[in-house]
Amino acid sequence: MDTRLLETFTALARTESFTGAAAELRLAQSTVTVQIRSLEKTLGTRLFDRLARGALLTDAGRRLLVRAEEVLEAEARLLAAATEDGPVSGTVVVGAGETLCSAHLPAVIVALRRRHPRVEVHLEPHGTADAVAALRAGRLDCALLLEDLVDQPGVTAERVAEQPLVLLCAPDHPLAGRAQAATWQELARESFFLHEQGCSYSDQLAARLQAVAGTPPRLTRFGSIEAARSCVAAGLGLTVLPRANVAAALRDGRLAEVPGPSLPHISVHLARPRRRRPSRAAHAVAAEVVRHFQDEGAAAPGPETSGGTTA
């Protein structure tokens, strides 16, 4: 049996859509239809019910799915064994939000090219919900998620780093350089420019500000952290970002840190599809991601030199 038919079958089972499976496999939709019909004819049973809301597995299809995944995993192990002594090569699709894409993934890719020049990385911008859906559908090999906890069916995740957060303002803002830390009540009277809804650390800060009694805080959300950062640098208000994303701006004096309440660190998780056996190239990318954050953690200043303020 041609295992490509099984790849198409498992893709359709994940996406429940002929259009979605075709997009994932980079095939014409008619090709997916023909391959599924061919597999059903070979096996002598209907694998999907074609409904208005999508293609849903029949009982026979659900029984076959587990075996099909086992066959594809065995094929992957066979191919890996045949090439395990050769150079690592292949394409890996990585999903991440703008926060991590801009501050971390370029360095990961540069290091990966030195270590494994035949590995190609394709970056796709995704928030957490979209990244999890793409992992389940097989459109991503792995994803970096900024979340305190990742507990999603069909996805495995390991915490690889903690990112410190910092409140920011323009250098000439009244809150810049204060000896006394600003309280939540004072902060709630300010204007904030935050990353779009769905950004975990921005959502947490917004919730904390909105919990302060009195006039609701003025919150503006942007789809780009650069837009939020530019508004703050122009003196229009405050924002919160991981320190890694603003280290250069703080050094250059384009932004200033607001002495304020202690903010919890945000976790970085490396997430992968639970049932999909990663390729050697995907393993290499994951290892480089972990190495990057380990090196960054080792180089980070300790609490006595970081300049943070607690309250």
Query: At which residue do the structure tokens 């394409």 appear?
Result: 91
Q: Output the pLDDT for position 80.
A: 65
Who's near 201: CB < 8 A, 6+ residues apart?
A: 146, 165, 195, 240, 241, 242, 266
309 is a domain residue: no
Count how many domains the chain has: 3
pLDDT of residue 115: 92
Q: Tens-digit pLDDT profile for the chain (311 aa)? A: 788 899 899 889 988 999 988 888 888 999 999 999 999 999 999 999 998 888 999 999 999 988 888 888 787 777 666 656 668 888 999 999 989 998 999 999 999 999 999 999 999 989 898 999 888 878 899 999 999 889 888 899 999 999 999 999 999 999 998 889 999 999 999 999 999 888 999 999 999 999 998 888 899 999 889 999 999 999 999 999 999 999 999 999 999 999 999 999 999 999 998 877 788 899 999 999 999 999 887 666 544 444 444 33
Residue 304 included in any domain: no
Contact 105, 98 (CB under 8 A): no
Q: Is 63 helix (H, G, I), strand (E, B) or coil?
A: helix
DSSP structural state of residue 179: S
CATH number of the domain at 186, please: 3.40.190.10
Please indicate, yes or no, whether residues 100 and 235 belong to a single structural domain of this protein. Answer: no
Residue 235 falls within a domain, yes or no? yes
Q: What is the pLDDT of residue 279?
A: 83
Strand partners, 167: 240
Range of the domain at 69: 3-83
Domain contains 289 = yes
Q: How far apart are the first and last CA of the chain?
A: 65
Q: What is the pLDDT of residue 42?
A: 92
Residue type for 245, please?
N
Partnered with residue 162 across adjacent β-strands are 267
Residue 264 backbone class (left: φ over 0; alpha: ψ -120 to 50; beta: rest): beta
Helix (H, G, I), strand (E, B) or coil at 168: strand
CATH assignment of the domain containing 30:
1.10.10.10
Q: Report yes or no on 54 lying in a domain.
A: yes
Structural domain ending residue among the three candidates 51, 66, 83: 83
Task: Report the relative pairing of strands 191-195 and 119-125 from DSSP bridges.
Answer: unpaired
Residues 70 and 206 in one domain: no
Q: Are residues 74 and 63 in the same domain?
A: yes
Best CA proximity match to 242, nearest among 168, 164, 161: 164
Residues 134 and 280 grouped into a single domain: yes
One domain, residues 196 and 273: no
Q: Look at residue 138 in the predicted model and tell me its pLDDT.
A: 80
